[in-house]
A = this chain, B = another copy of it.
Amino acid sequence: MSVGHTEVTDPAALSCAEDCGVRDVQDRLGDKWTVHVVVELSSGVRRFRELQRLVPGISQRMLTLTLRRLERDGLVTRTVHPTVPPQVEYELTATGYSMTRLIRALVDWSLDHRGIIAESRRAYDERREARP
Contact = CB atoms under 8 A, between A and B. Distances in A.
Contact of A106 (B26, B31, B100, B116): B26
A26 to B, nearest CB: 5
Given A26-B29, A110-B20, A117-B21, A11 B42 contact: yes
A116 B74 contact: yes
A40 interface: yes
A13 B40 CA distance: 11
Contacts of A101: 9
| SS class, residues of chain A in contact with chain B | helix
A65 interface: no
Interface residues on A, range: 35 or more
Given A26-B29, A99-B109, A111-B6, A43 B117 contact: no
Nearest to A117: B73
Interface in A7-24: 8-9, 11-15, 17, 20-22, 24
Given A11-B40, A30-B31, A6 B72 contact: no
Given A5-B112, A8-B42, A20-B114, 19 more contacts: A8-B100, A9-B39, A11-B42, A11-B100, A11-B103, A13-B39, A14-B35, A15-B36, A17-B56, A20-B110, A21-B114, A22-B107, A24-B114, A72-B125, A73-B120, A74-B120, A95-B116, A98-B113, A105-B105
